[in-house]
C-alpha cells in the first residue's frame, strides 16, 4: 500500500455544526467553508492539519465528544484499490470542494477518512459569459480565483455528456468585484500583517475584505448555501472494476453523485433493469455478456438527465487442463495449469486459500505447489490476472486421504432404542469422518486417528448390523456384523423403600424392594449415586448418601442398558436431633482422673464427641445409641464441671455441673533406687511411695526425667536426665493437680557409672 503523507485533518462530529464552527471561528481565528448540500464545515488553512466540523449521525448528549481521523494520501484511487485487494473494506470515492474522500473503519469501528487534497487552485480568467466587473480606482489587484461550479467534480476526467445541459443565464454585473473570503489560520493572518506596504492591496479593497471577514466571524451562523435551481443531473466518477469478463456476471460498483431513486443503467445501450442503488452516490450492477472492447455505461435519472463512464470487456484467463488431479492433504504437490491468456504476476486461489507461490511459464502454462489442507477435500481453482479478471475451475482437484480401516466396536451391543455410547478402534480416521450403523448415521466424536466414539441411532428391529466409516474424501471402511441391536428389556420396578426416611448425615442402610433388579443396577438417591449391593432380583441394599438439606427426594434405578426408572418423593431426609444425656454415673471422682464414667441418653453414634470439664476423656466408647463409656481426664482444680456430648451436624448437649472432681492427697516418696547414676543420664530408677497417678511428673535436680512409666499408685519407673559429676540432687514427684513430694539429695551423679 502507498504510504500516507501524514495526518491531514481532524474531524469533529457535532450535534450543531453551525454553532461549533462559529465558535472555533471566534475562538481560534479559523475560517470555514460550508460543503454545498451538507452541514459539513471545512477550514481552509493553507498548510498543516485542518479542522472539519461535521454533523453527527446520531444526536449527541451534553458533554459527549465524537471525532475521526483524516489521513492525507497522494493518490486516493490507488490507495483504495490496494486496501481492497488486502481485504480492507473501503467506501466509495466521493468529491468535495477540498478534494476526494473515502472512508473505512478500524477494528474498533472507529471512522477513518482518506483524503486526497485538491491541487492548489490556479487563478483563471472569469467565465466568458460574465462581463468584467468594474474595478475601483486603486492599484491593480490580481484577479481573484473563480470557484468551480459546484456540480462539476474536480481532479477527474470530465464525463461525456449525452445530452447538453441547459445554458445558464450569466449573473448580473455588480459595481465591484465580489469579495473572496480566503480561509486562514491565525498564523496566516500574522504573516499577512507582516507583508511590506508595497505588497499590500489597496486600502479600500483591504478594508472591504476585512469588513467581509469581520462580518463572517461575528455572525452566529455561516451563510446558507445558495438555493438549487432544479434537480442536479447524475454524475459518474468511477466504475470498480473498470475491466470485466466478456462472459458477464461481474459485479460492478458505480460511484458518483445525484443518483436518483428509479434511475436506470445502460451498458452499451442495453438496459440493466435491476441496478441496486445504495444511496445517492453508489450503484451496483451485474455486467451482461459482451464482446471484447470498450463500452459506455450510462446512468439515466427519471428526469432524463444522464452521465456516462466507460468500462472495458476483456476475454481474461481460461483454464483448459489441470494435472495431477489428486494430492496429499499435507500439501507439497506440484500442479500444472494449462490454458490461455495467463499474465505474468497472476495469482492462484486454491480451495479458498492463495497458493504459496505461482511460477509463470507462459501465457498458456503456470505452475504452483499445493498448500496443506485440513477441512475441504474437493474445491475450486481460480486464476486471477493482475487486471482483476479471473477464471474458475470447480472440483478438479482432490486431497486424497489414507484409506480408513475399522477393527472393533466396544461394547458391541445395545438396545434398538439407540443412544448407546460405543468406541470404534482402527486406523486413519479423519476428524470429519461420518459413521453409519445399519445404514443410519450415528453421532461421532473424534478422539484420534485410531479411535472414535459413537452414539448409536435408533434401529427398526433387533439383529446384527454393519458399521461404515467414511472419510471426507469418499473412502469407506466397512465392518460387517459389527454391532448387535437387542430388544428392549423389562425395566426395573421399585415397589417399596425400607425405611423411607433417614438422616442428612447419611451412612444409614436402607433396602429397595421391587423386581427385575440386576447385579449392575445403579441407584441414585436425590440425584446422588449411592453405594449399593443387589441381593436378589427383588432386593437392593443401599448405603444412604449424605445430603445438606432435609426434604423429599427421588430415587432412580438405571439398568445396564441405560433405561431409567424414577420414583419421585420416594425418600425423606431428616435433620438428626442433638444427642441427649439423661444420666452421668458416677457423679464424682479424684482430680487425678481415671474414673470410669457411664453416660446414658439417646441419639449416640460413633460420630459424637464427649468433653468433661472442657477436656476430652482419655478414652470413650459408644456402646449403643443410648450408652457411652469413658475414662475421666485429670483436672487441675477440684469442684463441679460440665459434661458435653455433641455431633457436628446436630449440635451439642451440655449437662451443667454433672461431675465433681474431689481433691486428691499429695504424693509421697518412700525410696529412690538406685540412688547413684551416670552423668550422661539414662539411669533406670524405681521410685516407691504412694498417691502416684499416670500423669505424675518426675524431676531430678529440677530437670524432667527422660521417661516416666506409671506402674501403680505406689511405683514409678523413670530414666534420669543428664547431670554434673558429684552433684547430689533432689527428686520431685509432681501430680497434675500441682501437689508434689520432694526427697532432698536423693540421687548422686557419679562419672564412674555408665548407663
CA 101 to chain centre: 36
- DSSP-based three-state secondary structure for 15: coil
- pLDDT (0 to 100) of residue 138: 39
**94, pLDDT greater than 80:** yes
Q: Residue range 63-82: average pLDDT? A: 75
- Of the two residues 722 and 488, the one the predictor is more confident about is 722
pLDDT exceeds 90 at position 338: yes
Confidence bin at 700 (pLDDT 50/70/90): very high
At residue 643, does pLDDT exceed 90? yes
CA 499 – CA 572 distance, rounded (Å): 9
What band does 3 get if pLDDT is binned at 50, 70 and 90?
Answer: very low
Q: How far apart are the C-alpha atoms of 90 and 111, rounded to whole Å?
A: 11
Mapped onto helix, strand or coil, the DSSP state of residue 218 is helix
The position carrying cell 439383529 is: 463
pLDDT at 196 > cutoff 70: no
Strand 501-503 to strand 564-574: parallel, antiparallel, or no bridges (unpaired)? parallel
Confidence bin at 372 (pLDDT 50/70/90): confident
Number of Cβ atoms within 10 Å of the Cβ of 698: 26
Residues in the chain: 755
Kindly list the distances between the CA atom of residue 207 and the CA atoms of 139, 189, 272, 277, in Å, as whole numbers in the listed order.
Answer: 14, 14, 58, 50
Look at residue 190 and tell me whether its pLDDT is greater than 60.
Answer: no
- Distance between CA atoms of residues 261 and 282, nearest Å: 11
Residue that wins the pLDDT comparison between 82 and 459: 459
**In whole angstroms, what is the distance from residue 519 CA to residue 424 CA?**
27
Q: Which whole number is the average pLDDT over 359-385?
A: 85
Kindly state the percentage of the chain with pLDDT values over 90.
41
pLDDT above 90 for 280: no
* SS3 sequence of 73-113: CCCHHHHHHHHHHCCCCCCCCEEECCEEEEEEECCCCCEEE
Beta bridge partners of 348: 383
DSSP calls for 584-620 = EESSEEETT---EEEEEEES--TT-EEEETTB--SEE
* pLDDT at 204 > cutoff 80: no
Contacts of 656 (CB under 8 A, 6+ apart): 642
pLDDT band at 446 (very low <50, low <70, confident <90, very high): very high
**pLDDT score recorded for residue 29:** 65
- Residue 220 has a pLDDT of 47
- CA terminus-to-terminus distance, the chain: 97
Rounded average pLDDT over 723-740: 91
Cα angle, residue 719 at apex, residues 713 and 722 outer, rounded to 5°? 140
Per-residue model confidence (pLDDT) at position 503: 87
Q: What number is the average pLDDT over the span 697-726? A: 94
Query: Grid coordinates representing 306?
Result: 444522464
At 57, the pLDDT band (50, 70, 90 cuts) reads: low
**Joined grid coordinates for residue 113:** 477518512
Average pLDDT of span 41-61: 72
Q: Which of 61-65, 676-680, 721-725, 741-745 has the lowest mean pLDDT?
A: 61-65
Does residue 53 have a pLDDT over 90?
no
Residue 489 CB: number of other CB atoms within 10 A?
A: 13
Instruction: Label residue 617 exposed, middle or buried (CB < 10 Å: 0-12, 13-18, 19+).
Output: buried
Q: Please tell me the predicted confidence (pLDDT) of residue 469.
A: 95
Name, of 119-128, 371-380, 522-531, 731-740, the range with top average pLDDT.
Answer: 522-531
pLDDT at 114: 83
| 143 vs 301, residue with greater confidence | 301
pLDDT given at position 450: 93
* pLDDT for position 376: 62
More confident residue, 159 or 539: 539
Rounded mean pLDDT, 472-485: 91
Q: How confident is residue 221, by pLDDT bands cut at 50, 70 and 90?
A: low
Q: What's the confidence (pLDDT) of residue 209?
A: 44
How many Cα atoms sit within 13 Å of 544 on the Cβ side?
A: 24
- Mean of the per-residue pLDDT values for the chain? 80
Tell me what pLDDT residue 360 has: 94
Which one has a higher pLDDT value, 376 or 270?
270
DSSP 514-573: EE---TT-EEEETTEEPEEEEEETTEEEEEPPP-SS-EEEEEEEE-TT--EEEEEEEEEE
pTM of the full structure: 0.32
CB-based contact 636:614 (threshold 8 Å): no
What domains are defined for the chain?
A: 1-118+179-228 (3.10.180.10), 318-399 (2.60.40.10), 405-486 (2.60.40.10), 493-574 (2.60.40.10), 580-662 (2.60.40.10), 668-749 (2.60.40.10)
pLDDT for position 445? 94
Amino acid at each position: 500500500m502507498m504510504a500516507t503523507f501524514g495526518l491531514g485533518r481532524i474531524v469533529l462530529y457535532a450535534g450543531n455544526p453551525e454553532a461549533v464552527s462559529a465558535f472555533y471561528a471566534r475562538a481560534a481565528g479559523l475560517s470555514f467553508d460550508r460543503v454545498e448540500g451538507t452541514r459539513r464545515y471545512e477550514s481552509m488553512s493553507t498548510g498543516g492539519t485542518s479542522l472539519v466540523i461535521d454533523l453527527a449521525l446520531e444526536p449527541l448528549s451534553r458533554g459527549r465528544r465524537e471525532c475521526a481521523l483524516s489521513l492525507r494520501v497522494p493518490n486516493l484511487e490507488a490507495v483504495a484499490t490496494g486496501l481492497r485487494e488486502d481485504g480492507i473494506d473501503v467506501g466509495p470515492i466521493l468529491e468535495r470542494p477540498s478534494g476526494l474522500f473515502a472512508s473505512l473503519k478500524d477494528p474498533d469501528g472507529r471512522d477513518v477518512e482518506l483524503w486526497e487534497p485538491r491541487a492548489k487552485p490556479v487563478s483563471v480568467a472569469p467565465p466568458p459569459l460574465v462581463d468584467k466587473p468594474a474595478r475601483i480606482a486603486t492599484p491593480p489587484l490580481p484577479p481573484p480565483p473563480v470557484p468551480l461550479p459546484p456540480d462539476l467534480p474536480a481532479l477527474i476526467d470530465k464525463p461525456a455528456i449525452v445530452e447538453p445541459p441547459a445554458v445558464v443565464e450569466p449573473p448580473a454585473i455588480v459595481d465591484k468585484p465580489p469579495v473572496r473570503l480566503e480561509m486562514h489560520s491565525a498564523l496566516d493572518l500574522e504573516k499577512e500583517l507582516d507583508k511590506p506596504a508595497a505588497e499590500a492591496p489597496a486600502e479600500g479593497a483591504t478594508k472591504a475584505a476585512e469588513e467581509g471577514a469581520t462580518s463572517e466571524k461575528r455572525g452566529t451562523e455561516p451563510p446558507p448555501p445558495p438555493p438549487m435551481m432544479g434537480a442536479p443531473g447524475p454524475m459518474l466518477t468511477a466504475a470498480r472494476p473498470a475491466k470485466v469478463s466478456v462472459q458477464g456476471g461481474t459485479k460492478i460498483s458505480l460511484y458518483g453523485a445525484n443518483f436518483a431513486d428509479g434511475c436506470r443503467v445502460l451498458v452499451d445501450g442495453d438496459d440493466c433493469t435491476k441496478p441496486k442503488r445504495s444511496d445517492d452516490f453508489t450503484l451496483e450492477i451485474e455486467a451482461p455478456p459482451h464482446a471484447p472492447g470498450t463500452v459506455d455505461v450510462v446512468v439515466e435519472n427519471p428526469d432524463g438527465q444522464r452521465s456516462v463512464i466507460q468500462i472495458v470487456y476483456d476475454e481474461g484467463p481460461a483454464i483448459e487442463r489441470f494435472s495431477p488431479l489428486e494430492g496429499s492433504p499435507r500439501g507439497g504437490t506440484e500442479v500444472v495449469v494449462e490454458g490461455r491468456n495467463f499474465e505474468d504476476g497472476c495469482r492462484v486461489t486454491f480451495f479458498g486459500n492463495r497458493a504459496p507461490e505461482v511460477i509463470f511459464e507462459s501465457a498458456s502454462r503456470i505452475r504452483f505447489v499445493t498448500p496443506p489442507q485440513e477441512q475441504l477435500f474437493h474445491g475450486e481453482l481460480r486464476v486471477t490476472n493482475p487486471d482483476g479478471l479471473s477464471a474458475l475451475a470447480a472440483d478438479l482437484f482432490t486431497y486424497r486421504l489414507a484409506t480408513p480401516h475399522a477393527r472393533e466396536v466396544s461394547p458391541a451391543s445395545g438396545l434398538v432404542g439407540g443412544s448407546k455410547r460405543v468406541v470404534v478402534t482402527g486406523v486413519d480416521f479423519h476428524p470429519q469422518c461420518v459413521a453409519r450403523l445399519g445404514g443410519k448415521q450415528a453421532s461421532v466424536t473424534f478422539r484420534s486417528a485410531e479411535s472414535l466414539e459413537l452414539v448409536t441411532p435408533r434401529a427398526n428391529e433387533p439383529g446384527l448390523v454393519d458399521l461404515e466409516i467414511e472419510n471426507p474424501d469418499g473412502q469407506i471402511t466397512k465392518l460387517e456384523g459389527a454391532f448387535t441391536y437387542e430388544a428392549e428389556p423389562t425395566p426395573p420396578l421399585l415397589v417399596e423403600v425400607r425405611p423411607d426416611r433417614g438422616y442428612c448425615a447419611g451412612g444409614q442402610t436402607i433396602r429397595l424392594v421391587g423386581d427385575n433388579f440386576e447385579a449392575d443396577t445403579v441407584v441414585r438417591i436425590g440425584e446422588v449415586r449411592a453405594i449399593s449391593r443387589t441381593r436378589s432380583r427383588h432386593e437392593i441394599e443401599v448405603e444412604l448418601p449424605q445430603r445438606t438439606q432435609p426434604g423429599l427426594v427421588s430415587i432412580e434405578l438405571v439398568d445396564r442398558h441405560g433405561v431409567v426408572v424414577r420414583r419421585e418423593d420416594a425418600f425423606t431426609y431428616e435433620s438428626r436431633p442433638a444427642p441427649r444425656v439423661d444420666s452421668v454415673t458416677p457423679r464424682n471422682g479424684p482430680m487425678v482422673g481415671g474414673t470410669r464414667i457411664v453416660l446414658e441418653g439417646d441419639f449416640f453414634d460413633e460420630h459424637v464427641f464427649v468433653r468433661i470439664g472442657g477436656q476430652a476423656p482419655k478414652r470413650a466408647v459408644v456402646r449403643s445409641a443410648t450408652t457411652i463409656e469413658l475414662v475421666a481426664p485429670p483436672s487441675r482444680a477440684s469442684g463441679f464441671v460440665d459434661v458435653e456430648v455433641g455431633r457436628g451436624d446436630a449440635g451439642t448437649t451440655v449437662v451443667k455441673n454433672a461431675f465433681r472432681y474431689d481433691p486428691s492427697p499429695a504424693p509421697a516418696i518412700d525410696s529412690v533406687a538406685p540412688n547413684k547414676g551416670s552423668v550422661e543420664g539414662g539411669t533406670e530408677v524405681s521410685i516407691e511411695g504412694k498417691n502416684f497417678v499416670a500423669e505424675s511428673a518426675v524431676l531430678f535436680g529440677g530437670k524432667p526425667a527422660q521417661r516416666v512409666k506409671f506402674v501403680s499408685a505406689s511405683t514409678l519407673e523413670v530414666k534420669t536426665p543428664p547431670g554434673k559429676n558429684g552433684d547430689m540432687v533432689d527428686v520431685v514427684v509432681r501430680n497434675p493437680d500441682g501437689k508434689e513430694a520432694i526427697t532432698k539429695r536423693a540421687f548422686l551423679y557419679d562419672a564412674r557409672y555408665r548407663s
